[in-house]
Chain A
Amino acid sequence: MYQPMLFLHWKQIRVVLIPFVIAAFGLPLLSVQGLGTLGGAVALEPLQALQAAQGWLAAYPLLAAAIGITLALSAWNWDHQLNHVYALSLPISRREYAMAKMGAGAVLALVPVGAFWVGALVASAAVHLPAGLHAYPNGLALRFLLAVMVSYATMFALAAGTIRTTLIVLSAVLLYFTVGGAAQSYLGLFFPFFQHTNVVGDTLTFLGRLGPFAVFTGSWMLIDV
Chain B
Amino acid sequence: MSRLALGCLAVGLAVALTAPAPVTGQQTEQELVSQLEALEPQWEAAKQAAAEAKKRVVREREDANGAIDTLMVGPLRVLVYPGQEDVARDVVGEVWRRDFAGWVDRSPSLERYAFFFQWTAHPRPFIPPHPRVTPIVGSGRDSRRYMEAGVRRAVAAVLEWDLQNAGFARWASPVVSPAPGPWVYRVMATTPSVAVRSCLAGSVKACVSAAGLAEDKYPLDDWYTPTERLRVANMKRYAWRHRVPDACLHDDVKACDAGLEASLRPRDYAYAIPLSTTARGSLLWFALHQGGSGAWSRLLADSNASLATALSDAAGEPVEEVVAKWRAWVVGQRPVEYAGMGRTSGITLLWIVLLSTLAMRSTRWRSG
A residues lining the B interface (CB < 8 Å)? 45-47, 50, 84, 87-88, 94-95, 98-99, 102, 131-134, 136, 139-140, 142-143, 146, 149-150, 153-154, 156-157, 160-162, 165, 181, 184-185, 188-189, 194-198, 200-202, 210-212, 214-215, 218-219, 221, 224-225
Contacts and interface: CB of A to CB of B under 8 A. Distances in A.
Contacts of B119: 196
Interface of B: 87, 119-122, 140-144, 185-186, 189-192, 197, 200, 228, 231, 334-335, 337-338, 340-341, 344-345, 347-349, 351-352, 355-356, 358-360, 362, 364-365
Nearest to B144: A196
Contact of A102 (B122, B191, B228, B356): B356
Contacts of A215: 344-345, 347-348
Contacts of B335: 224-225
B114 to A, nearest CB: 23
Contacts of A140: 338
Nearest to A155: B355
A161 B344 contact: no
B190 A50 contact: yes
Given A150-B351, A215-B344, A160 B334 contact: no
Nearest to A215: B348
Nearest to A134: B337
A185 B351 contact: no
A128 to B, nearest CB: 15
Contacts of B186: 225
A157 B351 CA distance: 11
A225 B333 CA distance: 11
Contacts of A160: 358-360, 362, 364
Contact of B347 (A102, A156, A181, A214): A214
A45 B231 contact: yes
Given A188-B140, A196-B121, A214-B348, 5 more contacts: A95-B360, A98-B359, A143-B341, A184-B141, A185-B121
B238 to A, nearest CB: 17
B141 A225 contact: no
Given A94-B360, A142-B338, A131 B351 contact: no
Contacts of B120: 195-196
Nearest to A150: B348
A225 B338 CA distance: 12
A88 B365 contact: yes
A38 B35 CA distance: 85
A196 B140 contact: yes
Contact of B355 (A87, A132, A157, A198): A157
A149 B61 CA distance: 59
Given A99-B360, A214-B344, A46 B351 contact: no
